[in-house]
Structures are given as C-alpha cells and as structure tokens.
Amino acid sequence: MSETQHSRQLQRKLGARHLNMIAIGGSIGTGLFLASGATIANAGPGGALLAYALIGVMIYFLMTSLGELATHNPTSGAFFTYGSKYVEGGFGFALGWNYWYNWAITVAFELVAVQFIMKFWFPDIPGFYWSTLFLTVVFAINALTVKGFGESEFFFSLVKVLAIIIFIIIGLVMIAKIMMTPDVATFGNWSKGEAPFVGGLSALIGVAMIAGFSFQGTEMVGVAAGESKDPQKTIPIAIKQIFWRILLFYIVCIFIIGTLIAYDDPRLLQAAATDDVALSPFTLLYEQAGFAFAASVMNAVILTAILSAGNSGMYSSTRMLFDMARKGSAPKAFARLDPRGVPMNALYATTAIAALCFLTTFIGEEQVFNWLLNMSGMCGFIVWLGIAVSHYRFRKGYLAQGYKLEDLAYRAKFFPFAPWFAFTLCAIVVLGQNYQAVLEGEWLAVLSTYIGILLFLAIWLGYKWKYKTKLIPYQQMDVQPMKIDRE
C-alpha cells in the first residue's frame, strides 16, 4: 500500500487548537507543579531561570526544525520517517522504537503517580485500583476517533492552562503587595545567601536536565501532524504558539516562585522527593495568599495534568508504532486500522507495555523501575538530537537537489546555526547528566543513567549490521513533499 493510501486511512481531524493543547498536555505536568521548586532549591532563582531560558531557546530551534520537516512531510511516523529518509535507515529505525518506548514507559510513570495523588483524598484505597482505573480511562479516550481524542485533550490541557494563568495573576499581585510594603525587600530572596546562583556550574547543568525533561512533549505536534487538518497551515501556527506559551508559563512561574519563596526553604525539595501536593510551590503560594483549600484545588489540577500527559503519551506512542508497522519496521498487525481510523492493535500493544511497566512497582522491583525511569528521560533527549540531525541533513539535501527555499511551506530560521546549537546543547545535557559518577568510577550508577543511550546504539548498530545501511547521500534523498489528501 502506498504512502498516499495509508494517509487516506488516517482521519485528518485535528485543528490548530488541538495541536496546541496536545503539545501543552504532554509538556506541562508534574515537572512544573511539583519539581519546579526543586530546581530553585538546587540552583537558586537565578540559576533556575537561566537554565529554563537556555533550554527554552534550544526547544525553540528544535520546534522550528520540526516545523519545517512536519509541514513538508506530515506523517504520524515523524522522527522515525525523518531519520530514515534524511539520515540513515538504522538511525530512523532506532529513533522510532526509542520514541515509542519512551512514551509507553512515561504512561506507566503517570499511572503510578496517580496513586500518590489519590491518596490525598482516599488514603485507605490501594493505589493499584486507581492505576487500573486511569489506565482504562486513557485507553478508552484513545480508542475514540482522533477528533474525540483531540477534544478530550483540549479540555484536560485547558484546565492546566487556566490553573497556571490564575497562579501567575495571584503571584504578580502578591509581588506588587510586597513592593507596597516598606519593610519587605521585594527581591530579597534573589540576594539571600548564595542567591541568585547557587551551586555553581554543576548545579546549573543539573537543573538544565530537569528543565529539559519538563519541556519534553512539545515535539508531539510532529506526530499529530499525520492527523491534522491542512498541516501546511496549522502546524506553523501551532509551532509558534506552543513555544511561546510554554516558555512563558515556565519562565514566569519560576520567577514568581523564586521571588516569593526562599531557595533554602526545605519544602521546595520535599515536594519533588515525596510527591506531596501540600508542599508544591503552587500550593504554598496559594496558602500564603489566604486560600485554605489550596491543596485540594492543586491536587485536582495535578490529577488532570497527569491524565493529560498520559493521554498524550498513549496517543503519540500508538501512532509511532502504527507508522513503523505500515513501513515494515514493526509487525504488520500493528498497521491495521479499525473503520473509524484508529490503530487499535497498536493501542493494545502500547497499553500492555504501560501496564507491565507500572506493575513492576507492586512486586518490589524498584531498581528495575528506576532504570526504566532513567531510560525514559534519556530517550526524550535522543529524539531531540534526532530532530536536529534530520533537519540539518534534509535542508542540505533539499538544496543539493536544486530546490528553492521559497518553495517550502514553512522555513526554519537561523539555519544552520539553529540545529547545530540545539544538537550541541542537547548533547552536553545528555552526556553531563551524571558525569560525576563517571569520574568517580561508579559504574552501576553510570549504567543506570546512560542505559537509554546504550539501548539506542544497540538497536541502531544492530539494524545497520544486519541490513548494511549507509548514510544517505544528499543527492539520493527523497525530499519530495508529501501529497496530502484533505478529507
């Protein structure tokens, strides 16, 4: 079956607002609501703000690169397709399986997090039941038509966005009141002790890693492009809006938290370590503002965030497995669609992996779970590296074959600096994730941290060895734009 015939089976029902919310739903979750306080505690308000800004610039470049690729070739295979067509077959193969595994495991993490959140209201009910219930809900939503999924994700993400906007308004009002109080230094927490930068360069790198993990999910718009309406129009709009909204949310929230809560407040670290919603910096500031019900409200918001992230992750991983199957890189059974255009077999497989992963926590395999967690976090950065490499080579091949940049539906800016900057910074964050363990010879910790890279390389090199694949020359690349059937 041809590429065009396959595309006709997918229902192009996602508009620009759906693409916006799918990406926001994947990238704004517990990392902002619970872990943001830990970034300030580790690197100070200035260090945290700088790290998020730096990673934000990297994400902007990556999103513009993805925008050029996704408008030229809008497919649910996204990174798998781009890596295979513009770099090398084994690279794309490994990138696709890496992305599928990444989000299948992430769904499991979100389901485990549900247990901690629900204990706030129902401490006597075993967490297993909550994980099972929410897995059923996420599966049911993804079993709907793509439009049904898009509408549900729009609602989930809207709740989070509204919560953040309210938080920003309340935070800025609180800062204004401090400014009107003579005996209180407005930015006293920015000059307290070692602030604004705490812990030096090593702390900054560590926080940059956390910031990078927090931004993961923005690339989901590339996968959703395969089912978007008029992708040449909707994707560029979504790319611009997604980046600025997410960056604004993170930067402003970090600024407010760093201004109103001292970096050495022990509750900031405890929130991320214990998943205690009562210690979330959002909850702490709501309570300072006089909202007694802050913990309950934030618990509901975080629960919605978890459901949204799990929902988006299930969607992205399912579509990736489907696209790999229809192109021969996964079992053919996963390429089947039901009459509504939903890849149910791929959904079943992803759900099964998610369920097996979160079940490991119930049989006491904490070490295994921690390894899977490290692999999942590393996999997100590998995808970003893949985007940068694929875009750089696509643009080179496109020009080498005599095509004009003016003919591109969307043209990424700052080429070739942008993909090179994104690649370099991403590589530094990946390789520096646990460099101290390398220097100290703690090889078990090194393996636990970098096992995601080793798995990716094993899949890539294994495929390369079996099929004798080579780097695709620029003149031989398939840089033809994809023909789109706008149903």
Tens of pLDDT along 129-180?
888 999 999 999 999 877 777 788 788 888 888 888 888 888 898 888 876 6
**Per-residue pLDDT at 211:** 80
**Per-residue pLDDT at 456:** 93
Tell me if the bond preceding 196 is cis, omega within 30° of 0: yes
The residues pairing with 342 across neighbouring beta strands, listed in sequence order, are none
What is the sign, positive or negative, of the torsion defined by CA atoms of 240, 241, 246, 251?
Answer: positive
**Per-residue pLDDT at 140:** 92
271 contacts 37 by C-beta, under 8 angstroms: yes
**Per-residue pLDDT at 2:** 40
> For the packed helices 231-260 and 200-215, what is the interaxial angle rounded to 10 degrees?
140
**Per-residue pLDDT at 361:** 66
**Per-residue pLDDT at 106:** 82
CA distances to 53, 88, 240, 440 from 49, in Å: 6, 37, 21, 30
Distance CA 136, CA 314 (A): 12
> For the packed helices 146-179 and 127-143, what is the interaxial angle rounded to 10 degrees?
120
Position 176, amino acid: A
Rg (CA), the chain: 22
Q: Which helix (H) or strand (E) holds 115?
A: helix 89-118
Q: At which residue do the structure tokens 């830990």 appear?
A: 38
**Per-residue pLDDT at 487:** 46
74 contacts 453 by C-beta, under 8 angstroms: no
> For the packed helices 127-143 and 89-118, what is the interaxial angle rounded to 10 degrees?
130
Q: Give ∠ CA 478-238-297 in degrees, rounded to 5.
A: 135
**Over the stretch 320-329, which tens digit does the pLDDT of each residue have?**
899 899 889 9
**Per-residue pLDDT at 486:** 47
Distance CA 456, CA 387 (A): 15
Q: At which residue do the structure tokens 């090194």 appear?
A: 446
405 half-sphere exposure, CB direction, 13 A CA radius:
6
Q: What stretches in the chain show pLDDT beneath 50?
A: 1-8, 365, 486-487
What DSSP designation does 14 have?
Answer: B
Q: Closest by alpha carbon to 29, among 274, 307, 247?
A: 307
Distance CA 352, CA 381 (A): 24
Position 394, amino acid: F
**Per-residue pLDDT at 139:** 94
How many angstroms from the chain centroid is the CA of residue 264? Answer: 29
Tell me if the bond preceding 416 is cis, omega within 30° of 0: yes
Domains of the chain: 3-476 (1.20.1740.10)
What is the sign, positive or negative, of the torsion defined by CA atoms of 124, 126, 131, 136?
Answer: negative
**Per-residue pLDDT at 68:** 93
How many angstroms from the chain centroid is the CA of residue 460? Answer: 22
Q: Which residues contact 218 (CB under 8 A, 6 or more apart)?
A: 23, 26, 27, 59, 62, 63, 242, 243, 246
Query: In 119-145, which ranges are continuous DSSP H helix?
Result: 127-143
What DSSP designation does 191 have?
Answer: T
**Per-residue pLDDT at 4:** 38
162 contacts 301 by C-beta, under 8 angstroms: no
- Look at residue 228 and give its three-state secondary structure: strand
